[in-house]
Structure 1
Amino acid sequence: MTSSRGRAPLYAWILLGFLIGLGAGLYVNLYVGAETPWVQSVTQNVTGPIGQIFLKLLFMLVIPLLFSALAVGVAEMGDLSTLGRVGFKTLAFTIVLSATAVLIGLVMVNAFRPGDGVDPALASALLEQSREAAGAIVGNAPKSIEAGQFFLALIPSNVVTAAAENQILPVMVFALFFGIGLVMARSVATDRLQESLQGLFEVMMKLINLVIKLAPIAIACLMFNLAALFGWDLLVRLAGYAAVAIGAMAIHMFIVYPLAVLVLAGRNPFKFFFGVREPMLVAFTTASSNATLPVALKAAEEQLNLPRRIARFVLTVGATANQNGTALFEG
């Protein structure tokens, strides 16, 4: 994703923003102090809001992008038998890769037990800093999982309400059924409707590409906040935990994924990872698969030359259903 000839690609600017934000934040933490009034003012009123505005802009556009991409992707399959084959392969891939990620996480955390050395005072400070996000996670986490209730929750009684409440899975189910309806009710009118959805997808992609151009600045602000408020204390005290988490993810990233790409897809892993370097960097810096979706779709079509209908269906579903990093982390 190079804006013009002779300019650095976007992933290079994102990496530069990441390093500048991290370096500036660590400098402020070490030589100025996280409790200094102007540092608190900057992190609360400038860098913090800029980073959050960037993420909110992406999330604002994700629902219409996800709906149009999945519905058009299903419609472009042409027939339900093709959709069934692709859907079965996607489901099998998701289950196997997610289960492998959880297994790696469980083995690593039980072997090294990184949490045993974390300072309780630091843990309390981190929880306080992330109280809102942590509360949302804890509040939304079910005490137990019942199969019947799980599948009922996937079907929205009101898709508009589901979209307003940012319930991604029910919206995806509706988009899937909508796409199936487009396949079954082929007519001149439904062809025009599919063209309209294609237009919606292209508009969303254009808008998200504009927002993504702000990524280097936003990521610099996000990293500045993290480093300025916690500094080396966070990095050093959590070094053991971070090493275990990163080591487990490295196993999944550099062993499991290359094997899957080589054996299941028959592709050269080096060429594959070179083609998806921008989505990987955006995913790493934003920690959001939904925010990364538009960049992943672009890379799949332009860098990997994947069929558009396959890329849209699989990546849109995978953005929510195939979160191996989250599965490993929670394990």
Structure 2
Amino acid sequence: MKLHHQIFIAMLAGALVGSLTSESTTLFGVPILAGYDLVGSLFINGLKMVVVPLIVTAIINGMTSVGDGNNLGRMGLKTVALYMTTTVVAVLIGLLTVNLFSPGVIDGQPARDLLGLASDTEAVLAGIEGRGAGDFTQILMQMLPPNLIAAAADGQMLGLIVFALLFGYFLRTERNDAGRSLRDLIEGIYQVVMKITMLVIRFTPLGVFALIAATVTRTGLDAIEPLAWFFASVVVALTLHAFVFMPALVFFLARRSPLRHIQAMTPALLTAFSSASSAATLPLTMECVQNRAGVSQRSSSFVLPLGATVNMDGTALYECVAAMFIAQAYGMDLSLATQFMIVITAVLTSIGVASIPAASLVAITVILAAIGLPAEAIGLILVTDRLLDMFRTAVNVWGDSVVTVVLARSEGEEQVLQRPVADAERMAQAASAHAGQGQTDK
């Protein structure tokens, strides 16, 4: 059975079992709520365990995959600049939407009681009080920690992300045997950590069951309303980014029809939505961009793999909205500095998010730690995560394709989106037939 089917069944089972039990229910003399909390905590601890090695090695590996030496070049700089711009805009759209909808506030009050947070809310708020959230200097100081090991132990991932970006960038310039060996070593570590992460994610259905069962046991079904508002906030924000901002880039910068580009990318977008993996969709994305949108292989083979590694517009937007929702539910003071911290961390962590289903759960724990909220709060959004994962993955792939088209046009590729998709398909078929005839003649 596919993982997302398991998660869906676990969600329903957790809600059903949670509705049939109460805080006083016992099994063989053991409080069943304590069992839910134990399993849920083990799952959250597994996610937290892989945060540091996964984010650091993913970012370094992503930076080194751009190419060896100083050959990033003009196109590379433009690509990175565009990817960073679209990601920042996506996060800002998410921030604006979540502030307008305020899904974590119901009837003017934080939704902590509805979501089962009331028991530990005071301790959480006391823990973050006096952290200097209103001081931008503290945020900037976290970007360059004096001790990386201490920063990792304290959950201050912002400094580790900055270090990983610098390390990966300069590792690219090392052309000697030592540099190649170090790149191979880091890639090997990344692959192993990915396998460990996938092992943890395989237990997601069990973690989802326990966390949802615990929440429903404590609150009943009152959590549906704030979660529905959270779901709506994410979908609206993703829609604005995908169908307003990104088409504007195609129209104004590439000077091509956004509708034609959507038509060209439809197969890849549907695959991304169903698989929730931009990495698995990459071959089809490249096929659509080259054969249906008319982008050259030179541009697409450079821009798209890089985008699948470092450009996660939908993921960054989702991380921002999720962190804001949890902060609102706790009743946290969302000062300008706190929101700035969320934006910066969402942008940076999105670079290190693996392009696999549910990987953003790891990144959200980083953002929660950055603003002083417990990672256990991620259990609140697990019930909606799988469906939203499908939406945001499609937005990730769409963003990669838009940047590729804009870059190709900036490099003087006039054939991009010039002909309707049907014409492009007929041309590809004709070329294939001609190639086959040529082989026969030979």
TM-score, normalized by the shorter chain, greater than 0.5: yes
What is the match of residue 198 of structure 2? 209
What is the match of residue 324 of structure 1? 320
Structure 2: gaps (5+ residues): 251-260, 286-303, 329-333, 335-442
Correspondences of 1:299-318 after superposition (within 5 Å): 299-305=277-283, 307-315=304-312
Note if contact 1:101-1:327 (Cα within 8 Å) is conserved in structure 2: no
TM-superposed deviation, 1:17: 0.7
Distance 1:103 1:15 in 2: 30
Structure 1-normalised TM-score? Answer: 0.73
Percent identity over paired residues:
19
Question: Are residues 260 and 26 of structure 1, via their aligned partners in 2, closer, same or farther at CA, if it must alter by over 3 Å?
Answer: farther
Question: Are residues 153 and 235 of structure 1, via their aligned partners in 2, closer, same or farther at CA, if it must alter by over 3 Å?
Answer: closer
Note if contact 1:168-1:320 (Cα within 8 Å) is conserved in structure 2: no
Note if contact 1:163-1:171 (Cα within 8 Å) is conserved in structure 2: yes
Distance 1:124 1:322 in 2: 19
**2:118 is the counterpart of 1:127:** yes
Note if contact 1:102-1:327 (Cα within 8 Å) is conserved in structure 2: no
What is the match of residue 97 of structure 1? 90
Deviations 1:119-175 (A, max 9, x none): 99x479732245555555x347634142x4433320121212212222221111111
What is the match of residue 253 of structure 1? 238
Question: Are residues 327 and 59 of structure 1, via their aligned partners in 2, closer, same or farther at CA, if it must alter by over 3 Å?
Answer: closer
TM-superposed deviation, 1:219: 0.8
Question: Are residues 277 and 154 of structure 1, via their aligned partners in 2, closer, same or farther at CA, if it must alter by over 3 Å?
Answer: farther
TM-superposed deviation, 1:261: 6.0
Distance 1:179 1:224 in 2: 42
Give the residue type in structure 2 aligned to 1:300: S
Distance 1:13 1:89 in 2: 37
Correspondences of 1:154-169 after superposition (within 5 Å): 154-169=143-158
Deviations 1:204-249 (A, max 9, x none): 11111122111111110111100011113x347xx3x555443333
Distance 1:54 1:327 in 2: 19
Give the residue type in structure 2 aligned to 1:19: L
Question: Are residues 327 and 56 of structure 1, via their aligned partners in 2, closer, same or farther at CA, if it must alter by over 3 Å?
Answer: closer
Alignment partner of 2:184 out of 190, 195, 199 = 195
Note if contact 1:73-1:308 (Cα within 8 Å) is conserved in structure 2: no
Correspondences of 1:258-273 after superposition (within 5 Å): 258-259=243-244, 266=261, 268=265, 271-272=268-269
Alignment partner of 1:115 out of 107, 113, 125 = 107
The secondary structure found in structure 2 opposite 1:323 is helix
**2:67 is the counterpart of 1:71:** no
What is the match of residue 3 of structure 1? none
Distance 2:158 2:171 in 1: 20
Question: Are residues 327 and 96 of structure 1, via their aligned partners in 2, closer, same or farther at CA, if it must alter by over 3 Å?
Answer: farther
What is the match of residue 365 of structure 2? none
Note if contact 1:74-1:83 (Cα within 8 Å) is conserved in structure 2: no
Structure 1: gaps (5+ residues): 1-7, 280-298
Note if contact 1:50-1:218 (Cα within 8 Å) is conserved in structure 2: yes
The secondary structure found in structure 2 opposite 1:156 is coil
Question: Are residues 203 and 91 of structure 1, via their aligned partners in 2, closer, same or farther at CA, if it must alter by over 3 Å?
Answer: same
Give the residue type in structure 1 aligned to 2:118: L
TM-superposed deviation, 1:86: 3.7
Give the residue type in structure 2 aligned to 1:71: I
Structure 2-normalised TM-score? Answer: 0.57
Distance 2:176 2:13 in 1: 54
Deviations 1:234-270 (A, max 9, x none): 347xx3x555443333311344335556665855468
Give the residue type in structure 1 aligned to 2:309: R
TM-superposed deviation, 1:313: 2.8
The secondary structure found in structure 2 opposite 1:207 is helix
Distance 1:125 1:12 in 2: 26
Note if contact 1:80-1:180 (Cα within 8 Å) is conserved in structure 2: no
